[in-house]
Structure 1
Amino acid sequence: MTLTISITPEIELIDVPRQIRVSGARPGSEVTIVARSSGPGGSVWQAEATFAADADGTVDPGRDAPVRGDYAGVSAMGLIWSQHEAEPATRAKGGAASVEDVVTEITVRAGGEEARAGMTQILAAKGVTRREILEDGVSGVLYMPATDGPHPGVVILNGSGGGMNEPRAALYASRGYAALALGYFRAPGLSDWINDVPLEYFRDAFAWFRRSVVLKDDFVAITGQSRGGELVLLIAATYPEAVSAVMAYVPASCVHSAQSAGDPARGRLAATWTLDGRPLPHLWDGNRTGTYAPYDNGPEPKRHEYALLTAMADQAAVERARIPVEKITAPVLLINGTDDGWWPTDYHCDIIVERMRGAGRHVERLRFEDAGHSILFPYVPTTVITAAHPVSGIVSTSGGTPAANARANAESWAGVLDFLNRVQKKDA
Structure 2
Amino acid sequence: MSSQIILRLLPSARCLFDEPVQLKVSGLRSRQVVTMRARSADERGVVFSSSATYRADGRGEIDLDRDPSLSGSYVGVEPMGLLWSMRPDILHKRFQKNNSLNPHVVRFSVHEEEGRVLAEATNERLLIGEGVSRHPVREGNIHGVLFTPPGQGPFPAVLDLYTFGGGVSEKRASLLASRGFVVLTMSLYGHDDMPGNTKKIQLDYFEEGIQLLKKQDKKHPKEELRSHVWINGCSANTALPLYYKNSQILPALMFDVSRIIHTELGAGIVKYVLNSTLAEENKVTLVPIEQAKGHFLFAAAEDDLNWDSKAYMDQMVERLKHHGKENFESVCYPGAGHYLEPPYGPFCPSAMHGVVHAAALWGGEPRDHAAAEVHLWKKIQDYFRTHLSCDAALSEAKL
After TM superposition, the score normalised by the length of structure 1 is 0.81
Shift in alpha-carbon separation, 1:356–1:213, aligned structure 2, 3 A: farther
For the 8 Å contact 2:159–2:209, the answer to whether it is kept is: no
Task: Give the aligned partner of residue 288 of structure 2.
Answer: 324
- Say whether 1:278 aligns with 2:247: yes
Shift of residue 403, structure 1, vs aligned partner: 1.9
SS of 1:74's partner is: coil
Q: 2:377 aligns with which of 396, 404, 413?
A: 413
RMSD (Å), alpha carbons: 2.8
SS of 2:210's partner is: helix
* Unaligned segments of structure 1, at least 5 residues: 220-241, 258-270
- What are the equivalent positions in structure 2 for 1:156-171 lying under 5 Å apart? 156-171=160-175
- What are the equivalent positions in structure 2 for 1:36-51 lying under 5 Å apart? 36-51=39-54
Shift of residue 296, structure 1, vs aligned partner: 6.7
Q: Could you tell me how far apart the structure 2 residues matched to 1:94 and 1:23 are?
A: 32
- What are the equivalent positions in structure 2 for 1:49-64 lying under 5 Å apart? 49-64=52-67
- Say whether 1:176 aligns with 2:180: yes
Shift of residue 323, structure 1, vs aligned partner: 0.9
Shift of residue 408, structure 1, vs aligned partner: 1.9
Shift in alpha-carbon separation, 1:85–1:362, aligned structure 2, 3 A: same
Q: 1:195 aligns with which of 199, 202, 214?
A: 199
Task: Give the aligned partner of residue 293 of structure 1.
Answer: 258
Shift of residue 284, structure 1, vs aligned partner: 3.8
After TM superposition, the score normalised by the length of structure 2 is 0.87
Q: Could you tell me how far apart the structure 1 residues matched to 2:211 and 2:244 are?
A: 17
- What are the equivalent positions in structure 2 for 1:181-260 lying under 5 Å apart? 181-185=185-189, 187=191, 193-216=197-220, 218=222, 242-257=224-239
Q: Could you tell me how far apart the structure 2 residues matched to 1:170 and 1:130 are?
A: 8
- Say whether 1:370 aligns with 2:339: no
* Unaligned segments of structure 2, at least 5 residues: 393-399
How many residues are treated as equivalent by the alignment? 382
Shift of residue 99, structure 1, vs aligned partner: 4.3
- What are the equivalent positions in structure 2 for 1:85-100 lying under 5 Å apart? 85-86=88-89, 96=99, 99-100=101-102
Shift in alpha-carbon separation, 1:423–1:138, aligned structure 2, 3 A: same
More helix by share: 1
- Say whether 1:108 aligns with 2:110: yes
For the 8 Å contact 2:149–2:181, the answer to whether it is kept is: yes
For the 8 Å contact 2:85–2:366, the answer to whether it is kept is: yes
Shift in alpha-carbon separation, 1:110–1:217, aligned structure 2, 3 A: farther
For the 8 Å contact 2:109–2:120, the answer to whether it is kept is: yes
Q: Give identity over the alignment, percent.
A: 26
Shift of residue 184, structure 1, vs aligned partner: 3.3
- What are the equivalent positions in structure 2 for 1:393-412 lying under 5 Å apart? 393-412=357-376
Q: One-letter code of the match for 1:347? A: A
Q: Could you tell me how far apart the structure 2 residues matched to 1:415 and 1:87 are?
A: 33
Q: 1:349 aligns with which of 294, 310, 313?
A: 313
For the 8 Å contact 2:230–2:296, the answer to whether it is kept is: yes
Higher relative contact order (CA 8 A, sep 6+): 2
